[in-house]
A and B are shown apart, each in its own frame.
Chain A
């Protein structure tokens, strides 16, 4: 079979007068055949997305692109803007990572899908409408017929991604580029989208370029012969070949490292005599608004309903559930970080904290710490590392002098594996994994007893995830910390937790020791969740 797209020695270089030249992609070559897959795999910053944007001529002017990309006998890289415009969206279409930002919030679903039809195919509005309905059926969103006038924010994440795919399929493209198409979605929905992509590939004889950092997802496309994978690192393609072969028998050490980086292992068992550190009884949180003169309609959202559990010293409880299931709200409520009051009792170290006033609670805050999901937004960009880590000391241990504080900060940085040279750096000078380490140092410098981890590894690459998990496990052992670990990533949860709480729609639907929940799930929802993830 002849190839659909053949890329030879693609190189992309960015030049900037202040920061010097930067090579984003170097000598990348691959082959894509009809109804087959090409997976581009690598960590963030490895040049996966750039290499694809270069094909479509979507890079900024500061980029120089070299090489050859033949598509139907023509070199894409040598085309002028006008001819490329005709290929973009028509022959080569793209699905983006985050459907919420990729869809125009001001346009209805119908308008978004019909736009390329009217533009490229020259259909009449009625024809375009019928085609839209066909497309929605094709992407498994048949109820879309009644929702043609809906706006993106009225759809769920999975529905939005289906609309995005329908949009890109509008002109029957020969190649579909999917840039991390499932990263922003919940596991159960991810499974559906992957199935859809595979079906479309067969039905429409379409080549698929899949950009992903998730090897588990790529593996699901491995079933076809002639489907290739290119493993990228710092712009270089380190390994290229058949998907199944490479995932089973990786030759390059980097690929081996990536595969080994899937989270594994178990937490260390806790001692039998460990005392209970946190008790939570019948906790409920609801957001809403009462009826008043200004707001004639009342509404109530029950974010957490009647949650009860206990946490022992040195133990980790994993809270899993899809987005919107109330897992973060539960954690924030425990730490009293919510703007609304909650019902129920929370006791920390045998002392009720739900009745404490803000000032009394402030003294206790040193022992209850939290680490957030996104290490980019959880560090103040205007503070240096020493200021970020040292802020808690200034509040809770104001008696320390400059030298003592410096010593403590350096010690905390060292514990999370950051050297002295990071002391005066600003967050933007850190990599993603280093930032999360910094956030951990900020939480640990006050010697807390309980740390809430709100998706601490979700924003990180797999190989860095593994390091952070290892670090968290070691710190737990060293300081006998209790963790409340929130995540939608079941693999990570399994590697971290002694016990699991499964939440759905604000309620705890299942609770038990990790092994039991993973091996013999009782509740129907837990079973669906586990099936989708593995």
Chain B
């Protein structure tokens, strides 16, 4: 089984891959998650308040990627074109055509032509209804998924990188390094990160990167324990001693001989950490300490549901979409755990 022409999987990895595929639920969840993630990455082409492609007087325009002033299409303003404006639509349709995304709302587009006062229930135009500010829930959900998954992935990657390195150093060198590092971690994990975020949000407007930075600072400890234990154990094995006797430099021993052992535990943890990261962002958004006001996110959708309890589609959409995403990740996690379980019989 070759993923890339030059890399052939070791028999062990092949076995794990087979094992992973064996867990049907996890395997399909994995592909569903990948498909969902890729789909949301192209959210601009699915739900947007501007067309994908415009033909106007023999030239092509791509409004989805670039802003054009209204004057381009014969309008009067030099500001960016509002394609939802009926006047602009007529201008363009007279001398060309437009291809719209399936959903003609962006995450922050307000639908002013609602038949009922916002929040309005699902309709042909707004598939999942609108929220209390007249914005399309489907579009917001799509963008909210994207930001949640991206945030989760970034947080997982950065936190794991720091956690694995810290655990590796502690486990390999042991002694005082380990002693002081452990005490530091104990103190560090006692810091109330939520209060820090509240204080921070009174000073600056926390954006994606600020939030990510703060959360990374306080969530890298998860993996330290397992990686440290694995390094402790492997450190005293004969093949590590043999590598030392060969004169292999310390860093190389850690990277090539010991880390692969620790990676088994790490990879098994990853889907669950990703899960936790996504819930973290959701809960921060729900409390109002997350992404800047107005941004589309799963937590914000839940707040909307809470504030407009009589508009059931808001709460239900929020609940089912989050439950769906988290369940997918749990199923993947289970399959990964199975795949790395040496006692599992094929």
Contact = CB atoms under 8 A, between A and B. Distances in A.
Does B associate with A? yes
Contact of A396 (B244, B247, B257, B346): B247
Main secondary structure of the interface of B (DSSP, over half): helix
Interface stretch (B41-49, B233-241, B269-277): B233-241
B11 interface: yes
A377 B242 CA distance: 10
Nearest to B15: A18
Contacts of B244: 337
B239 A379 contact: yes
B241 A365 contact: no
A34 interface: no
Interface stretch (A277-285, A366-374, A490-498): A366-374
Given A17-B346, A18-B346, A426-B10, A380 B247 contact: no
B309 interface: no
B249 A395 contact: yes
A433 to B, nearest CB: 17
Contacts of B12: 381-382, 426
B243 A426 contact: no
Interface in B12-37: 12
Contacts of B245: 335, 337, 365, 368-370
B246 A392 contact: yes
A224 interface: no
B10 A392 contact: no
A381 B261 CA distance: 10
Interface in A143-200: none
B80 interface: no
Contacts of A351: none
B238 A378 contact: yes
Given A17-B346, A426-B10, A426-B11, A378 B247 contact: no
Contacts of A16: 345
Interface string A344-384: 00000000000000000111111011101110011111100
Contacts of A362: 247, 249
Contacts of B237: 377
B75 interface: no
Contacts of B249: 362, 395
A378 B346 contact: no
B65 interface: no
A83 B238 CA distance: 45
B177 interface: no
A461 interface: no
Contacts of B99: none
Contacts of A213: none
B248 interface: yes
Interface string A246-264: 0000000000000000000
B11 A365 contact: no
Given A18-B346, A362-B249, A372 B260 contact: no
A249 B30 CA distance: 66
A442 B249 CA distance: 17
A391 B346 contact: no
Nearest to B18: A18
Given A18-B346, A426-B11, A378 B246 contact: no
A439 to B, nearest CB: 7
B239 A391 contact: no
Interface of A: 16-18, 294, 335, 337, 361-366, 368-370, 372-374, 377-382, 391-392, 395-396, 426, 439, 442, 446
28 contacts: A16-B345, A17-B346, A18-B346, A335-B245, A337-B241, A361-B247, A364-B247, A365-B247, A366-B246, A368-B245, A372-B242, A374-B238, A377-B238, A377-B239, A378-B238, A378-B241, A378-B242, A380-B257, A391-B243, A391-B248, A395-B246, A395-B249, A395-B252, A426-B11, A439-B242, A442-B242, A442-B246, A446-B246
